[in-house]
Chain A
């Protein structure tokens, strides 16, 4: 653990010593909760809204990030399908993992994923997220993404074209409308398994087990 994150005692401005535990003070360490779906009728309506308003977290994790940008342009124009880009994890509902994940990025991805609010969905883009792709024997990348996060849709290819990504979004819409987009609850239910997998890979674990 880094020096900054260790427990220490400091003198406050009025001269009294106070205990500081940065990991506990800066983050909440409560475990994620499982949220039961509401009444089927309400849930169906909510799922329609969720499917038609996909707010994507624009976070370029790998080389696939370059395939996400054309979707905003006149040629592909994903906005007409209700897909919009949001700048913060708090407000977005779809996390596009765009390609290979290095160990260092995985840490950020886990934190970001945990900051998103339930229900949240993950699209894994490119072959590297399925079995490692061309990085399958790399010393520094993970091979299979759904050992670390619950993935809803895989888009295979190296790299998949923007059209494939659009198809992936359409597939995700079908999944949400059928009520199968419960990745956040799956993550909460199998929390210990996911955490054990993540900690096996990330050696310098200097954050709480669950960020929010």
Chain B
């Protein structure tokens, strides 16, 4: 990978497009949710107004240094995940900083944000933040296992740790997609994906009606604005990761939007149907069925 000043511009362009897509997606999903509940629902551009409003707040109070740094950690987790993989396959502009071992780095960035958040939420001193973070960390740790097993199976299948090469191997029709050629790895990863998105069966981290809002309880004004930006970028980055690994990537933005929208709807549908798991239930569940599917995937690839 050769680096030039142009790459910075390309990276900013990617972030800009993904941010807008993430915000609009957020608005539309909430609108669909409202229509299912027979409400009119929010305006589709409401997430934009909320972010502007939060930045327009005049006062901010402090709980210490980590309290300020935590949202930045969280945002850099989302942006890091996004920038180290090819967003559009075969495009020089939107391949960003993808390199030979990016699959490993991307797995690390999945975990990065919540670690930063844990430090910041702990410093805020709010008991609900501490509960939220401990739940979040245990849940992330448990779904990381089937996810990693699936990723290792895919890496063994294609004999590479480079996402660009994995996408390249899946080109030429949907029969070449990993979800068809390696169904067990795909199943383990798609189940882990439900935990990664944090929607209904696994939303005990934020638990909106129970512990007010979990880790970000004390975050406000501009700090909350940064977290909201991340809440737009991070899910889209994860969607792009899963699209790249399982559904053959995308060669243009239209294909990307169609594919990521339907991958997102998978977690939305499951979330609408199933009620919330307690954290011990979700940990136990992730360590049974998805873990076994992941092990089967590894065994099938190896022999």
> What is A's interface to B at a CB cutoff of 8 Å?
28, 33, 35, 45-46, 49-50, 52-53, 55, 73-74, 77, 79-80, 82, 84, 86-88, 90-91, 93, 117-119, 184, 212
Contacts and interface: CB of A to CB of B under 8 A. Distances in A.
Given A53-B53, A91-B224, A117-B58, 9 more contacts: A33-B59, A46-B52, A50-B53, A79-B41, A86-B213, A87-B208, A88-B218, A117-B60, A118-B59
B61 interface: yes
Interface in B202-249: 208, 212-213, 216-221, 224
B218 A79 contact: no
A87 to B, nearest CB: 3
Contact of A118 (B41, B46, B53, B58): B58
A46 B58 CA distance: 10
A79 B42 contact: yes
Interface of B: 34, 37-43, 46, 49-50, 52-53, 56-61, 208, 212-213, 216-221, 224
Given A28-B61, A88-B212, A212-B61, A49 B42 contact: no
5 contacts: A52-B53, A53-B49, A53-B52, A79-B41, A84-B42
A76 to B, nearest CB: 9
A51 B46 CA distance: 12
Contacts of A91: 213, 216, 219-220, 224
A179 B132 CA distance: 37
Given A82-B49, A88-B212, A117-B221, A74 B37 contact: yes
B220 A90 contact: yes
B220 A117 contact: yes
A106 to B, nearest CB: 22
A93 B39 contact: no
Contacts of A86: 213
Contacts of B218: 88, 90
A212 B220 CA distance: 13
Given A33-B59, A117-B60, A49 B213 contact: no
B35 to A, nearest CB: 10
B231 to A, nearest CB: 13
Most buried by B among A28, A91, A117: A91
B217 A74 contact: no
A52 B213 CA distance: 22
A90 B217 contact: yes
A158 B50 CA distance: 33
A157 B61 CA distance: 37
A46 B59 contact: no
A72 to B, nearest CB: 8
Contacts of B49: 49, 52-53, 82
Contacts of B216: 91
A165 to B, nearest CB: 17
B138 to A, nearest CB: 22
A79 B57 CA distance: 21
Contact of B58 (A74, A77, A119): A119
A82 B219 contact: no
B132 to A, nearest CB: 12
Contacts of A184: 59
Given A53-B49, A74-B37, A88 B59 contact: no
Nearest to B124: A90
A53 B60 CA distance: 18
